[in-house]
Chains A and B, each alone.
Chain A
Amino acid sequence: MVHRALAHKSTDDVAIAVTDLKAGEELLVESLEGGQPCWVRVLEDIPLGHKIALRDLPEGHVVIEYGEKIGRTTQAVRKGAWVHVHNLRTLRWDYGDGAKGGR
């Protein structure tokens, strides 16, 4: 079976596009470890290798991928939206803008 987006764990907040995704597409997202697949409507174009939100994520939410913490949302992110550096930030070196080399 060929998939278009894949999550590491069924509990993850995000999945990875394994091909370029177009706004408006409806996807069934599977997880590598099995578990319940979930339907997502793609809200914006998302390139191959980039992340799609599998649920609505409030601002400040600690995002889970691989079943582990990968960062914090800097704004609210809707299910089906692109998750990347414009709305996700590391939990390390979290100095805020202008401080200690932060940007």
Chain B
Amino acid sequence: MLGHAPPLTGYRRPDGRVGVRNHVLVLPVDDLSNTAALGVARLVAGTVPLPHPYGRLQFGKDLELTFRTLSGHGANPNVYGVVVIGIEPRWTERVASAIAQSGKPVETFSIERHGDLNVINAASRAAYRLVQEASEQRREPIQASELVVSIKCGESDPTLGLAGNKALGRVVDRLVDMGASVIFGETSELTGGEHLIAERCATPALRQRFLELYNAYIALIEAQGVDLLGSQPTEGNIRGGLSTIEEKALGNIQKTGTRPVSAVVDYAEEVRPGQGLVFMNSSSAGAEQVTLCAAGGSVLHFFTTGQGNIVGHPLIPVIKISPNPLTCETMGEHIDVKLPDLLVGEIGLEEAAERIWEVFARTVNGRLTAAELLKHQEFVLTKLYPSA
């Protein structure tokens, strides 16, 4: 399977983790700080801003999740260093100190008593220094076992269950066998196949934790007095041929491969290399799930699509895989690995998996994905309940 793939290279970070990109992040702590963050990103080449609509008057678990998602992005191994900008110093320091635990350079700026213009000036000078330092970082040989990656499918149709997800499942098995961590999630989209995931949990404790998270998610949906008919499957899924949530779930879990689920984590919790196949409680919405995985430490995402989901992420490359010939023809610029020949049986799963692996290795080494080239930088925080 590794026949044509080049050896892997990446960036080693102070905490020992390995990244495949080398960004300098400009991180607004709250909605009010987006303007200053975007100002810095406009002035200094090589910076990535993460504007978002939250971070004020959140409380409890919801606030905790926002902080964890923001600091998880700062700590992500694809990031060399971070400029944190917030409206007031206390929350700004809280996010920055969580990032600083990764050992990477972090600089903080607060807007109260300074104003946007002074903050943009000072933060831009900090970003300038960090980007210049980052530009001198060099790639080193790495092992697959040092990587944390993640998977999701979107705009799904039955061609994924037959071909795309099955081929990715082979790659996932391979990565797990080599010692990498692979994160999957999409909690509500396991409905109808949740018993199969539960059976694969490596210990009774993991199984219990998985079922707790799954049942709580479904209870949350049902507490609204509704079911998911009309939203799971989505209209796009239905147009593509999926009829029920069970069918969608069974196709979905093909991409998780066949290895045991060896860890279960909640939204955006940190995942380290060597944890194997990891379930992360998460939304089934593409941008939200990729964002939660990136916050947990994923450095690369595999995304299979039937009808053509085009999601990307600001910090982690998203590799798009599709077996649907119509999608590959009409939206070819979004697809990194085209597998219509697998769908009709012209090639086998092993050859398809090798094709995915080769694109994976080249992407790890710096090849830009379709989503990166088309500037797809979706960053979507998961909100648990209304703000105070």
Q: Mark B224-241, 1 if CB is under 8 A from A, else 0.
A: 011111100000001011
Q: How far is the CA of A93 from the CA of B162 in the complex (A)?
A: 26
Q: Within the complex, what minimum Cβ distance (angstroms) separates B329 from chain A?
A: 11
A8 contacts B326, CB within 8 Å?
no
- Which of B162, B193, B244, B246 interacts with A16 by CB under 8 Å? B162
A18 contacts B343, CB within 8 Å?
yes
For A2, the chain B residues whose CB sits under 8 A away are 344-346
A70 contacts B241, CB within 8 Å?
no
Main secondary structure of the interface of A (DSSP, over half): loop
Closest to A101 in B: B226
A71 contacts B246, CB within 8 Å?
yes
A90 contacts B244, CB within 8 Å?
yes
Q: How far is the CA of A41 from the CA of B272 in the complex (A)?
A: 52
Is the CB of A102 closer than 8 A to any CB of chain B? yes
With contacts A6-B162, A8-B162, A32-B162 known, is A66 near B241, CB below 8 A? Answer: no
Is the CB of B324 closer than 8 A to any CB of chain A? yes
A103 contacts B161, CB within 8 Å?
no
Q: Within the complex, what minimum Cβ distance (angstroms) separates A19 from chain B?
A: 7
Is the CB of A49 closer than 8 A to any CB of chain B? yes
Closest to B346 in A: A2
Q: Mark A1-17, 1 if CB is under 8 A from B, else 0.
A: 11110101000000011
Q: Within the complex, what minimum Cβ distance (angstroms) separates A92 from chain B?
A: 6
For B345, the chain A residues whose CB sits under 8 A away are 1-3, 6, 18, 30
Is the CB of A50 closer than 8 A to any CB of chain B? yes
Is the CB of A81 closer than 8 A to any CB of chain B? no
Is the CB of B243 closer than 8 A to any CB of chain A? yes
- Which of A30, A83, A85, A101 interacts with B227 by CB under 8 Å? A101
Q: Mark B321-365, 1 if CB is under 8 A from A, else 0.
A: 000111000000000000000011110000000000000000000
A49 contacts B157, CB within 8 Å?
yes
Contacts of A11-33 to chain B: CB distance below 8 A: 16-19, 30, 32
For B346, the chain A residues whose CB sits under 8 A away are 2
A93 contacts B228, CB within 8 Å?
yes
Q: Mark B159-170, 1 if CB is under 8 A from A, else 0.
A: 101100010000
For A68, the chain B residues whose CB sits under 8 A away are 192-193, 196, 246, 250
Interface size class of chain A, counting residues whose CB lies under 8 Å from the partner chain: 35 or more
Q: How far is the CA of A84 from the CA of B229 in the complex (A)?
A: 14
- Which of B230, B243, B250 interacts with A103 by CB under 8 Å? B230
Is the CB of A55 closer than 8 A to any CB of chain B? no
Is the CB of A48 closer than 8 A to any CB of chain B? yes
Interface size class of chain B, counting residues whose CB lies under 8 Å from the partner chain: 20 to 34
The CB with the most chain A CB atoms within 10 A, among B225, B238, B250, is that of B250
With contacts A1-B345, A71-B247, A84-B243 known, is A51 near B158, CB below 8 A? Answer: yes
With contacts A51-B158, A100-B226, A101-B229 known, is A71 near B244, CB below 8 A? Answer: yes
With contacts A3-B344, A70-B246, A88-B243 known, is A49 near B192, CB below 8 A? Answer: no
Closest to A1 in B: B345
Closest to B233 in A: A85
For A90, the chain B residues whose CB sits under 8 A away are 192, 229, 244-246
Closest to B238 in A: A85
Q: Mark A79-97, 1 if CB is under 8 A from B, else 0.
A: 0000111001111110100
Closest to B230 in A: A103
Closest to A19 in B: B344
Q: How far is the CA of A7 from the CA of B183 in the complex (A)?
A: 28
Is the CB of B191 closer than 8 A to any CB of chain A? yes
Closest to B227 in A: A93
Is the CB of B306 closer than 8 A to any CB of chain A? yes
For B227, the chain A residues whose CB sits under 8 A away are 92-93, 95, 100-102
* 24 A-B pairs with C-beta separation under 8 A: A2-B346, A3-B344, A4-B344, A16-B159, A16-B161, A17-B241, A18-B159, A19-B344, A30-B345, A47-B241, A50-B158, A68-B192, A68-B193, A68-B196, A69-B246, A70-B244, A71-B244, A71-B247, A88-B243, A90-B229, A91-B244, A91-B246, A92-B246, A101-B226
6 A-B pairs with least C-beta separation:
A93-B227, A49-B241, A101-B226, A50-B241, A71-B244, A90-B244
Interface residues of chain A, those whose CB is within 8 Å of chain B, are: 1-4, 6, 8, 16-19, 30, 32, 47-51, 65-66, 68-71, 83-85, 88-93, 95, 100-103
